[in-house]
Amino acid sequence: MQALGKLPLDLAAAGVDFASFSAHKLGGPKGVGAFYVRPGAPHTSLLIGGPQEQRRRAGTENVPGIVGFGAACRVAAADLVERSRRLATLRDRLWEGISKEIPSCSWNGAPDHAVTHTLSVSFPGADATALVEALDLEGMSVASGAACASGSTEPSHVLMAMGVPPDAARGSIRLSLGFASTDADIDRALELLPPVVARVRAAGAA
């Protein structure tokens, strides 16, 4: 679940049976996570043979990672509302600049129901993989899909299910903000994106 550390969560009130979280999504160490199980929800252990983690997952716990995860959660909780507000302001300024400077682009999803730290934008006529590579050469990291789908040349099945046209889905990239993101980062992104998108579109049309 991506919301941990970005939005207030009440899993019990939401009726969630199971949820998994990764520490690195909120600045914690990579390689450690948490698994929520609603009390009473049926659950079969994947790894058996030991009593660790209430017999839900056998094996030696990653204690330093768990401690780091807890520290990241405390830091995120301390300024959750203010951080969310700040990132939403940066995200909206990024979109305003993109929509003003780059023709024929669209925000994927419903802006009123979007997480504050992520912006998915479609640039029809531009290949997303080419955009990712061109921006990477300029020192700007973006993604064209989920990490688990890296290497795939197919448009995102999530965007397709949302009704995004295939050409737009193939030209979609995700721009993510973090706790360290600044106005200077937005300025740099808006400096790089228009010429890169234009260049990639021109190359695809050639």
Residue 146's pLDDT band (cuts 50, 70, 90): low
Average pLDDT, the chain: 88
The reported pTM is 0.80
pLDDT in tens, 75-111: 989 988 888 899 999 999 999 999 999 999 999 988 8
pLDDT in tens, 37-70: 998 888 888 788 888 887 778 888 899 999 999 9
For 120, residues 6+ apart whose C-beta sits below 8 A from its C-beta are 107, 108, 109, 159, 172, 173, 174, 175
pLDDT for residue 150: 52
pLDDT for residue 17: 94
Residue linked to tokens 């995102």: 156
**Amino acid found at 205:** A
pLDDT in tens, 136-145: 999 999 988 6
**Statement: residue 180 has pLDDT above 50:** yes
How many residues can be counted in the chain?
206
List active site positions.
148
Pull the structure tokens for residue 36: 């929520």
Q: What are the domain boundaries of the chain?
A: 11-78, 80-205
pLDDT for residue 43: 82
Residue 148's pLDDT band (cuts 50, 70, 90): very low
Better-scored residue on pLDDT, 204 or 200: 200
Domain 80-205, CATH number (from 3.90.1150.10, 3.90.78.10, 1.10.3470.10, 1.10.287.610): 3.90.1150.10
Q: Which of 168, 58, 90, 164 is nearest to 123 (CA)?
A: 168
Spatial contact of 24 and 178, defined as CB atoms under 8 Å apart? no
